[in-house]
């Protein structure tokens, strides 16, 4: 598990009950199965998180590849995930608005929703599935990119946790 406080964003952290992000598809530091990549079905993996701290109103999700040649590559952005939702099933639809009220932004492929890992041939890239527990809902009109999300989350992050997997072609 990785905890990521973002610059200019304050997060409260208690290591005893730190929020944890897991997937039944892959473990921390493991290879992301092909079905969740551009060479497979390109569907989102199942995710779960637990040990959510008091003061959380909703969640945000950011999936990034920091090893991309052109800088950080955004694979998935979702905001306003309800507090009652602590799991995302495999294959979340690539719609802007989901049935549970969550809203997805545009990934670096230029589409709403999940875009699976697709590193250049031969290169091993890390993918961070980061869940943020937020103290307030975000205005979806103001969040379409990772930079938007980071700006709008400022002062609202209760805690964040990430699961890191890798992909290689």
pLDDT per position in the chain (169 positions), as tens?
444 444 444 444 444 569 999 999 999 999 999 999 999 999 999 999 999 999 999 999 999 999 999 999 999 999 999 999 999 999 999 999 999 999 999 999 999 999 999 999 988 999 999 999 999 999 999 997 888 999 999 999 999 999 999 999 8
Alpha-carbon distance of 44 to 24, in angstroms, equals 12
List the 87-88 sheet strands across, edge first: 20-22, 47-50, 87-88
Query: HSE of 99 in the Cβ direction (CA atoms, 13 Å)?
Result: 4
Domains of the chain: 15-160 (3.90.280.10)
Alpha-carbon distance of 37 to 14, in angstroms, equals 34
Contact 92, 19 (CB under 8 A): no
- pTM > 0.85: yes
């Amino acid at each position: 598990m990785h905890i990521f406080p973002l610059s200019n964003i304050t997060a409260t952290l208690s290591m005893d009950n730190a929020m944890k992000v897991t997937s039944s598809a892959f473990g921390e530091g493991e290879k992301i199965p092909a079905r969740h990549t551009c060479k497979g079905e390109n569907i989102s993996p199942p995710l779960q998180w637990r040990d959510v701290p008091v003061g959380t109103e909703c969640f945000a999700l950011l999936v990034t590849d920091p090893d991309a040649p052109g800088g950080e590559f955004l694979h998935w952005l979702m905001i306003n995930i309800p507090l009652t939702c602590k799991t995302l099933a495999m294959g979340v639809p690539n719609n802007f608005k989901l049935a549970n009220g969550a809203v997805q932004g545009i990934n670096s492929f230029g589409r709403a929703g999940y875009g699976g890992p697709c590193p250049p041939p031969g290169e091993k890239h890390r993918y961070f599935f980061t869940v943020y527990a937020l103290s307030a809902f975000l205005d979806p009109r103001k969040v379409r990119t990772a930079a938007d999300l980071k700006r709008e989350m400022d002062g609202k992050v209760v805690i964040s946790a990430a699961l890191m997997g890798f992909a290689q072609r």
